[in-house]
Amino acid sequence: METPPNIAGPAPSALTRPFWDAAAQGTLLLQYDPAADRYQFYPRPISIHTGRTDMEWRPACGRGTLASFTRVQQGPNAWMLAGIDLEEGVRVLAPLVNIAPDAARIGLPVRLVWITEGRAQPLYAFAPAPEAAPKVGS
């Protein structure tokens, strides 16, 4: 399976620690602004919709569609990178796995999966919906 290089992120900050703690348990958290009834992603210090800080963490349902994609090639390594539009109305940058490079098309239904093998931190990724499995590479 083509996956991105194993690049470690920085130690989580106070803002992002709940996100990565949940990721370790296989849950993708989104910030939700109850005042706007809207989500946002990536985690930010303030709601981009209302400017308020009283946001909640809510788990993403994990269903979405392919909004954009590219197959990155660096030397011998290649992987698919995608923009995914989640049902909650946010766009996530993530690897696209379990897919032939020429099978990607805008609008393709996808499901959340996790890349765990050899990773200190589980990576959220997406796969074509019919083939989605709860864990990939573990």
Q: Is 101 in the site for other proteins (CB under 8 A)?
A: yes
Tokens 């796969």 locate to: 127
Separation CA 113–CA 138 (nearest Å): 11
Residues 46, 61, 93, 133: which binds other proteins (CB under 8 A)?
93
Nearer to other proteins, 82 or 132 (CB): 82
> Could you tell me which stretch among 54-62, 90-98, 130-138 binds other proteins (CB under 8 A)?
90-98
Q: Is 9 in the site for other proteins (CB under 8 A)?
A: yes
> Could you tell me which stretch among 2-10, 54-62, 127-135 binds other proteins (CB under 8 A)?
2-10
Q: Is 92 in the site for other proteins (CB under 8 A)?
A: yes
Closest contact distance (angstroms) between CB of 7 and other proteins is: 5
Separation CA 136–CA 71 (nearest Å): 19
Amino acid letter, 112: L
The mark string for 34-53 relative to other proteins (x by CB under 8 A, - otherwise) is ----xxxxxx----xx----
Q: Is 85 in the site for other proteins (CB under 8 A)?
A: yes
**Residues near other proteins, by CB under 8 A:** 3-5, 7-10, 12, 16, 38-43, 48-49, 67-74, 79, 81-83, 85, 89-95, 101, 104-106, 121, 123-125
